[in-house]
Amino acid sequence: MNRDPFEEYMKESEPGKRDKGYAWHTAIGLQAVDGLKTSNYLVQTAVRNIEGEITFEQANALLQSYYEQNPVSDLNDRTEEADKVAARIARLLSEKAFSFTPNEYLSIHRKLFTGIYSHAGCIRDYNITKKEWVLNGTTVLYGSATELQATLDYDFSQEKMFSYKNLTMNEMIHHLALFVSRLWQIHVFGEGNTRTTAVFFIKYLRTLGFEVTNDIFAKNAWYFRNALVRANYNDLKNGIHETTEYLELFLHNLRSVYKELHADRETGC
């Protein structure tokens, strides 16, 4: 088994290197939600960034130059996408700025996929279905194209009004699982929904006091996606009901890095 190149950085006492190590580790791991793998060149570039040799801007410029000089000829090879999106995710996760708004959600998609998808940052105007491995090829019912903006606005407004005050950890996790599963089910974009949702959710969790610096998103990205699928699928005639239990199991791994919320803190503040 190849050694994780970011393992030592995540044990670093120097906060800058440690935080960048986690950001890159998570960014690369999240490509698995779409079955993508990054290149060795990206790992080398990431290490240079963590070591302080290059900035995130320079890392992205190097990737752009690399693929201009080494174009991918196989249309089924999505390594370039995986590399570029991973670098952009690492940068976003390293930034502290965040606002709990639909515009922030759309902005994250645009920042991740500009130059990769023509619809980067745009709400889809057509209905979609997707065959899911965990459902034996069946699809989740995604949001209707005519209602996407209204549905997105509604979910954000409901979450912003919700108070986590006096809730137990189990109650918090159950509610967070409901929120992220509903946000994902809208499937606002034609492609890139899961990675966008994951980045947004990680940054949102930080505003709630969760220091998301463990391996759950990096090492369990595929599980995370399948848990989102299961949270939004019903087949009542066969006794199958949507459930957030798998998402809640995933989120319970955050318990060890949870910081107690201030007594008067509410979401969106």
pLDDT digits (tens, 9 = 90+) for 60-114: 999 999 999 999 888 889 999 999 999 999 999 999 999 999 999 999 999 999 9
Task: Give me the DSSP letters along 110-152.
Answer: HHHHTTT-TTTT----S------GGGTT----PPPGGGHHHHH
Q: Where are the domains of the chain?
A: 1-95, 98-269
For residues 2 and 200, the model is more confident at: 200
Give the per-residue pLDDT at 131: 64
| DSSP designation for 95 | -
Please check the confidence at residue 139 and state whether its pLDDT lies above 80: no
Contact 106, 113 (CB under 8 A): no
Rounded to two decimals, the pTM is 0.89
Tell me, which fold does domain 98-269 have in CATH? Answer: Fic-like fold (1.10.3290)
Give the per-residue pLDDT at 16: 87
